[in-house]
């Protein structure tokens, strides 16, 4: 099993979910510095790997309209 194939751990899912919740509707998390957040891309990637994560993404993540 490669690193990218490893299942997401419950604690990682929870951290990713909380990050996405905190960023919903333009919010911020404690990892945010200025207009930059290193945690959000990780959270989006982790949730995309998990079947339940896709539901979280569909419900809470609104893609940036500036992003092509």
pLDDT reading at 1 higher than 60: no
pLDDT for the residue numbered 40: 94
Domain boundaries along the sequence of the chain: 22-61
pLDDT (tens digit, 9 = 90+) per residue, 2-55?
445 567 788 999 999 999 999 988 899 999 999 899 999 999 999 998 888 988
Please state the pTM of the whole predicted model: 0.74
63 pLDDT tier (thresholds 50, 70, 90): low
pLDDT for the residue numbered 29: 93
Query: How long a stretch of residues is the chain?
Result: 68
How many CA atoms, within 13 angstroms, populate the side-chain half-sphere of residue 11? Answer: 0
Looking at the chain, list the stretches that DSSP marks H as alpha helix, in order from N- to C-terminal side. Answer: 10-23, 39-48, 51-60
């Amino acid at each position: 099993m490669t690193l990218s194939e490893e299942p997401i751990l419950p604690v990682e899912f929870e951290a990713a979910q909380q990050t996405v919740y905190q960023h919903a509707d333009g919010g911020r998390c404690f990892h945010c510095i200025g207009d930059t957040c290193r945690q959000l891309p990780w959270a989006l990637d982790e949730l995309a790997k998990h079947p339940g994560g896709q539901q979280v993404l569909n419900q809470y993540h609104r893609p940036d309209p500036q992003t092509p």
